[in-house]
Amino acid sequence: MKCPYCGHPDTRVVDSRPSDEGMAIRRRRECPSCGRRFTTYERTQLEPLMVVKRDGRKEPFNPDKLLRGLLLACEKRPVSEEVLRRFAYTFEDQVSGPEITSEEIGLKALAFLKELDHVAYIRFASVYREFDSVERFIEEIRSLASLGLPSKLPCTPEGAGEGREEP
């Protein structure tokens, strides 16, 4: 398998074990060129999960596309890439049925990030929900803060928004 870090065409398996109650095989791989390690999952795929886009087009689900969005939202955040990778690559297993809308994928990703990291959640939401103003960011942050959910970091810094008049 090709190394995702340096592109070397071959890697070696250093550990292999059953995962997801025997429905997948988790493999730890190491690149002989750069020495970095990464995890792959092997599973049976009967039919590809189809994503119904907003314009009605259909395309096969691509976990790499979901992972890219999650990685962007979590950039420079204290979130393990392995946790994001596991979510993206086991996503299909949590979907019942042959199709899912892109909207449902976004909502599931938002729910996942809301529990994981509030800043990453806001970043993902700003793209997914197409925030077009600072007020929309503030509204979402206040909504998140009012839930009282635990976060790795507070979603609003101390004193943020004080001394400002409400629109």
In tens, the pLDDT along 56-94 reads: 999 999 999 999 999 999 999 999 999 999 999 999 888
Q: What is the pLDDT of residues 86-123, one digit of tens each?
A: 999 999 888 888 999 999 999 999 999 999 999 999 99
Measured CA distances, 22 to 15, 27, 104, 122 (Å)? 16, 13, 27, 35
d(CA 103, CA 128): 9
d(CA 50, CA 25): 23
Beta-bridge partner residues of 60: 50
pLDDT of residue 3: 92
Residue by residue, what is the 3-state secondary structure of the chain?
A: CCCCCCCCCCCEEEEEEEECCCCEEEEEEECCCCCCEEEEEEECCCCCCEEECCCCCEEECCHHHHHHHHHHHCCCCCCCHHHHHHHHHCCHHHCCCCEEEHHHHHHHHHHHHHHHCHHHHHHHHHHHCCCCCHHHHHHHHHHHHHCCCCCCCCCCCCCCCCCCCCC
Q: What is the mean pLDDT of residues 141-146?
A: 86
Q: Which pTM does this prediction carry?
A: 0.62
Q: What is the pLDDT of residues 2-37, one digit of tens each?
A: 999 999 999 999 999 998 788 889 999 999 999 999
Residue bearing tokens 């793209």: 127
Judged by average pLDDT, the poorest of 17-26, 44-53, 106-115, 158-167 is 158-167
Burial degree of 45 (CB within 10 A; 0-12, 13-18, 19+)? exposed
Cβ atoms < 10 Å from Cβ of 122: 18
